[in-house]
C-alpha cells in the first residue's frame, strides 16, 4: 500500500531540473542574441534574478510553509503547549506527517478522556464505599445473654452483602442479606435495605412486619432483575426468646452444645424484591436455644468460595468447622477460626463474592464482655 502518492523530494528535484532547463534556455537565447544584437549583460542578470525569485516563492509555498506549520504543531505537542489539528489534502511527505500527527493526538485525547472517566469512577466508588462503611456496623455490640461476633469481607470496593445488629423497643434484630451480584448497584440496594430496616424496626416490634414492609418498599423502587435474600433474627432482651424470618437466604446453622450436632435449618421465604407482597410467603418461627448453643449466619460467598483446584468450600465443610471449634471457643473464637479456615482453603484464589459471617452463642451468665475481645467487624486475613 502506497502512503505517499506524490513525493515532495521528487517534486523538489523536478522543480530544480525545470529551473535549470528554463535558465539554460533563457541564457542560451540571450547569449545568442547578445552576440547578434549586443544585448547587455545587465538584462541577462535581471532575467536570471526574476527566475530565482519566482522559484523561491514556489518553494516557500509548496515546501517550506506547510512543513513549518506541521513542525510548529509537533513542537507545541512536545513542549506541552496547546496544539491544533492539521487540516490538509496533501498526499506527499507533508501530508503523511500531518496525518500521523493527527492520529497520535487523537489517541492522546481518547486516553485522556479514559483517564478522566476512570478518575471520576474511582471517585464515585470511593464515595459509595465510604457511604457503605458508614452504614454497616463497625463493631459487634454487647447483648445481654448473647455473644455476637460479625466479620465481613467485600469482594470489591463496594459490596452487596448487608448485615446489621439493631436494638429497638427491647428487641435486637440481627440479620444478614445478599444482593444479587456485587459492585455499585448492589451496594446501593444494600444501603437502602439497611436504612429501611432501622426505620421499620422503630415502627414495629417483630421481625415479620419489618421484613414485609422492607419488601414492599424495595419492590417499588428497584429494578426487576435485582433482589436480595435475607434472614433476620429477633432476640427479645427481656424474655430471651429468639425468633427468625427467612427471605430466601442460606441455612441457619445451629450447634447444640449438649450433643455436638450441627443443625441446618432452611430459612425459607422468598427474596426481597421478587413479589410485591411477601406476607403470605414468609413466617416468623422460634428457635429454642440452650446455654452454650451457637447460631451461625453466613452469606454464600463463604460456601461458594473456591480453592485453587476449583473445589467449593461448601455447606458440609462449614458445618464441620463449626463442630470442630464450637466446643472449644467463644463466639469470637469460632468466628475467627472459621474465617481463618476459609481463607486457608482459598489460598491464592481471588475472592469472587462478598463474605459475611455472624456467630452467636447463648450466654446466660452474661460473660459476653469478657469472652469477646475483638468487636471489630473487619475480616482478618
Tens digits of residue pLDDT in 88-144 = 766 666 677 777 767 777 766 555 455 455 555 545 555 555 666 666 777 788 888
Q: Reply yes or no on whether the pLDDT at 292 is more than 70.
A: yes
Could you give the CA distance from residue 128 to residue 134 in angstroms, rounded to a whole number? Answer: 10
Q: What is the pLDDT of residue 263?
A: 97
Sorted by where each begins, the domain ranges of the chain are 8-110, 138-371
Q: How confident is residue 58, by pLDDT bands cut at 50, 70 and 90? A: low
Could you give the CA distance from residue 376 to residue 148 in angstroms, rounded to a whole number? Answer: 11
Q: Please, what's the b/e burial string for 116-138 (b: 16 or more CB within 10 A of its CB; e: otherwise)?
A: eeeeeeeeebeebbeebeebbbe
Tens digits of residue pLDDT in 304-321 = 999 989 999 999 999 999
pLDDT exceeding 90 applies to what percent of the chain? 42
Could you give the CA distance from residue 340 to residue 330 in angstroms, rounded to a whole number? Answer: 15
**Top-level class of domain 138-371:** alpha beta
Contact between residue 322 and residue 296 where contact means Cβ atoms under 8 Å apart: yes
Helix (H) or strand (E) holding 256: strand 252-256
Average pLDDT value over all residues in the chain: 79
Tens digits of residue pLDDT in 179-194 = 886 666 777 788 888 8
Amino acid at each position: 500500500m502506497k502512503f505517499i502518492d506524490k513525493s515532495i523530494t521528487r517534486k523538489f528535484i523536478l522543480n530544480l531540473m525545470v529551473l535549470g532547463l528554463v535558465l539554460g534556455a533563457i541564457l542560451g537565447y540571450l547569449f545568442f542574441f547578445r552576440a547578434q544584437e549586443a544585448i547587455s549583460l545587465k538584462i541577462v542578470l535581471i532575467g536570471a534574478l526574476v527566475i530565482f525569485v519566482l522559484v523561491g516563492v514556489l518553494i516557500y509555498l509548496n515546501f517550506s510553509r506547510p512543513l513549518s506549520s506541521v513542525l510548529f504543531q509537533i513542537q507545541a505537542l512536545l513542549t506541552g503547549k496547546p496544539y491544533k489539528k492539521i487540516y490538509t489534502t496533501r498526499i506527499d511527505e507533508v501530508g503523511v506527517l500531518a496525518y500521523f500527527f493527527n492520529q497520535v493526538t487523537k489517541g492522546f485525547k481518547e486516553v485522556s478522556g479514559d483517564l478522566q472517566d476512570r478518575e471520576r469512577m474511582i471517585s464515585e466508588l470511593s464515595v459509595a464505599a465510604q457511604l457503605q462503611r458508614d452504614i454497616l456496623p463497625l463493631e459487634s455490640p454487647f447483648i445481654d445473654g448473647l455473644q455476637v461476633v460479625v466479620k465481613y469481607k467485600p469482594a470489591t470496593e463496594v459490596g452487596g452483602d448487608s448485615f446489621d445488629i439493631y436494638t429497638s423497643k427491647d428487641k435486637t434484630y440481627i440479620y444478614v442479606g445478599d444482593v444479587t451480584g456485587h459492585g455499585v448497584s448492589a451496594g446501593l440496594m444494600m444501603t437502602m435495605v439497611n436504612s429501611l430496616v432501622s426505620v421499620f424496626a422503630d415502627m414495629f416490634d417483630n421481625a415479620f412486619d419489618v421484613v414485609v414492609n422492607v419488601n414492599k418498599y424495595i419492590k417499588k423502587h428497584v429494578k426487576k432483575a435485582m433482589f436480595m435474600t435475607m434472614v433476620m433474627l429477633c432476640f427479645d432482651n427481656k424474655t430471651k426468646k429468639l425468633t427468625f424470618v427467612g427471605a430466601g437466604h442460606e441455612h441457619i446453622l445451629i450447634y447444640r452444645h449438649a450433643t455436638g450436632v450441627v443443625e441446618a435449618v432452611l430459612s425459607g421465604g422468598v427474596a426481597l424484591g421478587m413479589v410485591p407482597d411477601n406476607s403470605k410467603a414468609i413466617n416468623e418461627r422460634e428457635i429454642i436455644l440452650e446455654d452454650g448453643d451457637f447460631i451461625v449466619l453466613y452469606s454464600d460467598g463463604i460456601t461458594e468460595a473456591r480453592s485453587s483446584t476449583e473445589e467449593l468450600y461448601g455447606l458440609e465443610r462449614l458445618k464441620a468447622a463449626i463442630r470442630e471449634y464450637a466446643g472449644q471457643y467463644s463466639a469470637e473464637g469460632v468466628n475467627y477460626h472459621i474465617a481463618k479456615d476459609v481463607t486457608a482453603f482459598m489460598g491464592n484464589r481471588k475472592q469472587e463474592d462478598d463474605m459475611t459471617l455472624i456467630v452467636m452463642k447463648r450466654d446466660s451468665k452474661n460473660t459476653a464482655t469478657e469472652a469477646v475481645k475483638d468487636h471489630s467487624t473487619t475480616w482478618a486475613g
